[in-house]
């Protein structure tokens, strides 16, 4: 490892690997560091179809097509009563091959991206912890990082740009106190993995299925993976999930038993992994870029696991940040305005997913009922579900949905 690079990228997830690979491909000396040994476990297995485009740009699309990852061609919703919606088949909305995506084991998927970043010229070091990001207090300009290598030695490495893809650690945002919680999304997730869970036949067999529990106190994800393993998780309000006096395992088992749509699917299934938990993960950052630094992926912000937007946002922000950084070197402009020139466009599009999440968490609101009343928005809703959110008019659906969600919230608010 040298003492200086053009660009240092923190984090070996999809965001960091994408950014590091693309800036290295452009001829910039690039250091990519990851604190854990790769490959490593990570939650977030379901990809949105629009991941197709950044994966193509990174040059890994053919590897994805040839992989043994489960193909995802649809999403489906199951009501608290157990009534199943018709699947949303992506190819009915767009017949191109980009409408087929994947359910991935993140250890394997992230490692594929890590190796691709190295192929494109990034110097990649795992088991390397960032001890500090070198930011000048008065100007908030970044000059590099202080690292601890696997042998315990520390090293200061300088750079013109630091790209922070450190995930929920969000090193720069925490250092500069930039994180802002999303107050109405104070959630917790509990999940594990099951063998022999029942899947649908045919094209819906690889679907992500979102199921409400009775009373809509929580919801369940059902994500089919390789080797007949299924990722099953439960999300609900933080206090409800973790402060009821039940153990994590007890709460998880109780919520699974309260999900009518899950019972037949778990009839012959067995849990094959430990129960895992994530707490209060929804937040935003009020400043995503500064002099010599920019945030990407979950370090920029994380909304909710509901619509599987996390990996798509990671790949997209990694690509857009890389393009801004490459341009910054051509222009010799490392300002916040240059490095973060894409951020407002990203924020506008991702806000549509946040609005969709908040509508889902409104108990008296029904997407099924909304689409029955407004069939003209089915295509617009499918656009949001596949991640096609960065165009003028993507939020048109909310002209009709917002008033209905507001009425539903009033119906669920106790009278004073």
- The DSSP letter of residue 84 is B
% residues pLDDT > 70 (the chain): 99
Does residue 10 carry a pLDDT above 50?
yes
Q: Report residue 285 as tokens.
A: 């950052």
135: which residues sit within 8 A by CB, 6+ positions away?
A: 141, 142, 143, 172, 175, 176, 290, 293
The alpha-helical segments, DSSP class H, found in 72-105 are: 90-93
Residues 154/148, Cβ–Cβ less than 8 Å: yes
pLDDT digits (tens, 9 = 90+) for 372-405: 999 999 999 999 999 999 999 999 999 999 999 9
What phi and psi, each to the nearest 5 degrees, are found at residue 55? Answer: -65, -35
Task: Please report the pLDDT score of residue 412 as a whole number.
Answer: 66
pTM above 0.85, yes or no: yes
Q: Mind listing the pLDDT tens digit for each residue in 199-230? A: 999 999 999 999 999 989 999 999 999 999 99
CATH numbers and ranges of domains, the chain? 4-64+105-181+282-342 (3.50.50.60), 72-95+187-279 (3.30.9.100), 362-412 (no CATH)
Residues in the chain: 416
Q: What is the pLDDT of residue 47?
A: 98
- 81 burial type by CB count under 10 A (0-12 exposed, 13-18 middle, 19+ buried): exposed
pLDDT score recorded for residue 416: 38
Give the pLDDT confidence of 125-183 residue by residue, as tens digits: 999 999 999 999 889 999 999 999 999 999 999 999 999 999 999 999 999 999 998 88
- CA nearest neighbour of 400 among 341, 355, 357, 349: 355
Give the C-alpha distances (Å, rounded to integers) separating 223 from 113, 240, 409. 21, 23, 29
- Binned at pLDDT 50, 70 and 90, residue 281 comes out as confident
pLDDT at 273: 98
Identify the band that residue 413 occupies on the pLDDT scale cut at 50, 70 and 90.
low
CA 221 to chain centre: 14
């Amino acid at each position: 490892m040298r003492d200086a690079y053009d660009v240092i990228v923190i984090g070996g997830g999809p965001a960091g690997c994408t950014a590091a690979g693309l800036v290295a491909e452009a001829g910039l000396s690039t250091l990519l560091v990851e604190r854990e040994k790769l490959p490593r476990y990570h939650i977030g297995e379901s990809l949105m179809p629009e991941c197709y485009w950044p994966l193509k740009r990174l040059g890994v699309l053919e590897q994805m097509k040839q992989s043994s990852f489960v193909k995802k061609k649809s999403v489906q919703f199951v009501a608290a009563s157990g009534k199943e919606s018709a699947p949303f088949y992506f190819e009915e909305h767009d017949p191109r091959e980009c409408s087929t995506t994947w359910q991935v084991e993140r250890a394997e998927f992230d490692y594929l991206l890590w190796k691709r970043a190295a192929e494109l010229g990034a110097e990649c070091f795992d088991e390397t912890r960032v001890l500090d990001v070198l930011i000048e207090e008065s100007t908030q300009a970044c000059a590099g990082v202080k690292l601890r290598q696997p042998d315990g030695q520390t090293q200061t490495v300088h750079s013109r740009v630091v790209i922070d893809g450190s995930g929920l650690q969000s090193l720069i945002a925490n250092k500069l106190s930039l994180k802002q919680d999303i107050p109405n999304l104070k959630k917790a997730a509990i999940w594990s993995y099951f063998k022999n869970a029942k899947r649908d036949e045919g094209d819906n067999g690889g679907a992500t299925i979102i199921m409400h529990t009775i009373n809509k106190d929580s919801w369940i994800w059902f994500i089919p993976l390789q080797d007949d393993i299924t990722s099953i998780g439960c999300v609900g309000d933080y206090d409800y999930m973790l402060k009821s006096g039940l153990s994590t395992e007890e709460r998880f088992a109780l919520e699974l038993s309260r999900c009518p749509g899950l019972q037949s699917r778990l009839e012959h299934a067995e849990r094959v992994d430990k129960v895992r938990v994530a707490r209060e993960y929804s937040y935003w950052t009020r400043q995503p870029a500064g002099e010599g630094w920019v945030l990407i992926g979950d370090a920029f912000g994380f909304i909710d696991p509901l619509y599987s937007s996390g990996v798509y946002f990671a790949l997209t922000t990694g690509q857009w940040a890389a393009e801004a950084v490459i341009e910054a070197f051509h222009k010799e402009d490392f300002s916040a305005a240059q490095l973060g020139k894409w951020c407002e466009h990203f924020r506008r599009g991702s806000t549509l997913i946040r609005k969709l999440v908040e509508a889902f968490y409104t108990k008296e609101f029904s997407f099924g009922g909304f689409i029955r009343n407004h069939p003209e928005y089915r295509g617009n809703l499918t656009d949001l579900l596949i991640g096609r959110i960065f165009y003028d008019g993507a939020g048109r659906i909310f002209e009709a949905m917002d008033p209905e969600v507001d009425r539903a919230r009033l119906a669920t608010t106790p009278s004073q």
